[in-house]
Amino acid sequence: MNLLIIEQTEIAIVVGLIFGILVFASILFWILGKVRPQGDFSELKMRTKSWWAMATIFVLATIVHSVITFISLGLLSFFAFRELTSISKNIREVDRKVLIWCYLSIPIQYYLAYIGQYGPFLIFIPVFMYLWIAFMLVIVGEVEDISRSMSVLPAQLMLTVFGVSHLAFLVSLPDIEGFDIGGRALLLFVVFITEMNDNFQFTWGKLFGKFKVIPKVSPNKTWEGLIGGVVTTMIVGYFLRFLTPFSEIEILITCGCVAIVGFIGDVVVSAIKRDIGIKDTGSVIPGHGGLLDRIDSLAVTGPFFFHIVYFMYYM
């Protein structure tokens, strides 16, 4: 009972912090708009409004019940995969016949995460589905550009399903000695840190950015935004380390790496969008574009953070 109360209290602190930051951001950008009317803060305001809705959904999915968490993240993968395949110019019409197998792999992958089967979870999509998709494409019988389809479909599954499913697996991890608040705290931590890093990098870049990191891929990404986001994420993560089993040094290193990995996921999806010739992967979320625009960082920070935790405390 005491452990349950501790877990609920500490998770409640994070939930309060999330919405507290959103309140602060909303007030700050409103004040900036009044003080500097010549400045364009419309995108920052729109992002903040969108994050009110997204934060509410993520928090409810995490704290209500673990089954709801798995179902919610599974649906997130489903819609993100559908979004990516719908905009991809590298999928042939005949490949649509194979997509059903990709969609069927989503509940299997999340079920493996739910029952905590680490080995099968790790190999199901990268090994089994990679071979199965290739074989199904062969069965279709259209060999022109088949090698491209054999590469594209598994890569899309890896990004939208395999990567995101690691977030769900965090909830299934056994208790760590001396760390009793559980996997839900780890999930909230990595989601919160990743999304704060995205917002920190965007905000610092918007306010102070001059030097571009990869101008041909993502011209809005600046060194000022990247460095400011990494440092700010490390500071926030340090004060939230009670949600993890990490020491002070470990949490600083982990959060710094999460921030950099999140940046990598962001620019990778930016490169995909630039190749396709679109600005956003969709228009589901006002101010944020599509679902993939929002989970591009989580798709890589999730598995990175999961395996850091697993390597340090379960191997």
pLDDT, tens digit (0-9, with 9 covering 90-100), for 142-160: 898 899 999 999 999 999 9
pLDDT digits 0-9 by tens, 244-266: 999 999 999 999 999 999 999 99
Segment 117-136 shows an average pLDDT of: 96
Percentage of residues of the chain with pLDDT beyond 70: 86
pLDDT greater than 60 at residue 62 = yes
pLDDT of residue 7: 55
CA distance 129 to 280: 28
Of the pLDDT bands very low, low, confident and very high (cuts 50, 70, 90), residue 122 is: very high
For the cut 60, the answer to whether the pLDDT of residue 311 exceeds it is: yes
pLDDT by residue (tens digit) across 22-50?
Answer: 787 778 777 766 776 665 666 666 667 66
Quote the tokens at residue 236. 């926030």
Q: What are phi and psi of 72, to 5 degrees?
A: -65, -45
Q: pLDDT class for 8, splitting at 50, 70, 90?
A: low
pLDDT at 1: 45
DSSP three-state, residue 2: helix
Instruction: Spell out the alpha helix ranges (H) of 36-98.
Output: 42-63, 66-87
Q: How far apart are the first and last CA of the chain?
A: 29
Residue 289 has pLDDT above 70, yes or no: no
Round to whole Å and give the CA distance between 56 and 73.
Answer: 14
Count of the separate structural domains present in the chain = 1
The reported pLDDT for the residue numbered 284 is 66
Residue 176, beta-bridge partner list: 179
Phi-psi region of 116 (alpha: psi -120 to 50; beta: other; left: phi over 0): left
pTM of the model: 0.88
* Mean model confidence pLDDT for the chain: 86
Q: Which domain holds residue 105?
A: 2-313
